[in-house]
Chains A and B, each alone.
Chain A
């Protein structure tokens, strides 16, 4: 009888101690997910930064389109500047832009016109209001995302270097993606490509855009069946000061187009950050230049003003 209670007590004692220690160690161990989250939060506090970003789209190994850009962003002065090059079908377009306190200026390499958009006071206020709300909302959003990710945050591996920097990476195969993503993504991809084509036709009359993002669209293979996300990978470097220095992501999608040809489409995105809190965006002097005003009554779309 005594032996039985000893066994029971022993099992209870050992298992609860084990449970607490392994639980606490699992809880306390910083996964790559936490490291990245912390760096992301920290990086968001910087006031200005220089960003080098590039993106490319490959189909069966051929580069369909690529884009590269250099940006300087300053949050405290609400200014930014930068240039972007877009290469598609062998043609290159580049765009320079300057966001000043009260106006945004765009210039394409294809012509000499500077497109200027005046900031409206209203919108500015809206932005301010958003920013004050932000910490609270982001806290809630963070909790929800954490819960959704759950134990899968361990997907993200972290490699701590001796100099205090970290490399965070994750790679998800098709089977490792959440079922919901696997089920919905192909449908979205299929429909997205179709819809955007429709949109393109409608917008054809407004051809005086500073840049033509449709160039990209036209060369993308139209996947209609057997669409599947093959792989998603992600990598980020965090420096010793806990700022994100470099991050890149790859998404590989496979599928077949209407004629039955197999495609493997890879999207590659990457960004390098530098000059934390020491960057000043460039400004532009518009005097003596050809200027065209733009009105942005339609959200997200630019239309030439009546001349």
Chain B
């Protein structure tokens, strides 16, 4: 890929990831406003492409419109990567993104047509986060940060690679538990209990990155530091979501404060997953594992001998 192309495809991938983040927020607003079934038909809305945008229709059809935009961006990105990126695995990841976004659209349709079946809603919410991870990955893989040579060693135990991987998996599981809670499949306790594990892993990951990595590892330090901030914010938002839901449980209509807090909780959850994922991917890309350093040194000694 030429340098100019590389820059543009990277920013296009960033745009796709950002649009996906907005889509996740739009989805959370649909749930918050209890508007999931305000448009009973699919793929059209009230038999048209543009129904009157009022009440719950604004949120549900708005969600569909943003989803259509994300779908178009994803297909365009995949075609661009297929034509211009030399790395086969990146091209395949672009195709996987297209398959994921189409699957997500079909799940959205099933959700509407089958009147919100809970397992499908949870799967829809979880695949949204997974798709966000794919778009973030594509943005990273097309960036200069990914192309730069590796620098630092992954010293100490556990290493940042292991910790960040564990933290990312923990955050993803927590998002599934959150979706299960929000859609009534699970109670509150699994989500609260797992939040403790997530907080420990993410803060540990951030501490290790900030304490052990040199200042030259700007991206890694920034993403992991952001993850610490986000997980603390997320704990507060989690309490806020619980409290606002509790005090408004008998309300005649969805409470605006509850909608804002719970939607922000979903958005920060996605941002936390993104920060953890980017830390993980960069850690595996840029840090050399201790065993690799040892074997390299042994190899060097043999060569010298």
Instruction: Indicate whether A and B interact.
Output: no
Binding site for B on A (CB under 8 A): none
